[in-house]
Amino acid sequence: MKIIAIAAVGRNGVIGRGSELPWDIPEDMKFFRDSTRGQIVLMGRKTYDSLGKALPARRNAVITRNTSWSVPDAEVYSDLPSALKALKPVALSEGKTIFVIGGAEIYSLSLPFLDEVWLTEIDSDFEGDVFFPLYREGRFEAAGFVKGGVREQSDSVSPFHYRFCVYQRSA
């Protein structure tokens, strides 16, 4: 069982603009879907709201401070420790990974618990108001690429150059 943060991030650290992604990269969305399908996804309420519903074929868990907030298609927790306390035994018994899928505050809170960070690193700067936390500062080191590493522009309908990277917790 692993706990992995998964995100796409611009060169300047941007992961969002309001509740939207500032880019459209179909291969990144496919990578996200394929990676998280059949697994457990853990997100904040704002991320859930931006999706508009639970992600299909995944166990969905949402963290919110609003104790009266609920949805029929996801488990709701008041904080990250209580979510992990409930989800870790399930992940262990079912051989699943817990993917932290956002937003910025949930990524920041999850840093001490993460085994890995999977990033689609986009080689462009973007305007935005949501940023991925500083995760490398001695905590994580590059461990390679997933799904073949760098994708060139000619391989994509997207105009962006990007790579799928894995960072593992430093020993």
Residue range 52-74, pLDDT digits in tens: 999 999 999 999 999 999 999 99
> For 89-105, what is each residue's pLDDT tens digit?
999 999 999 999 999 99
Q: Does domain 3-137 have CATH number 3.40.50.300?
A: no
- Listed by start position, the domains of the chain span 3-137
pTM: 0.93
**How far, in Å, CA of 118 to CA of 95, rounded?**
19
Phi, psi of 66 (to 5 degrees): -80, 100
**How far, in Å, CA of 142 to CA of 62, rounded?**
29
**How far, in Å, CA of 39 to CA of 54, rounded?**
13
Mean pLDDT over each residue of the chain, to the nearest integer? 91
Phi-psi region of 144 (alpha: psi -120 to 50; beta: other; left: phi over 0): left
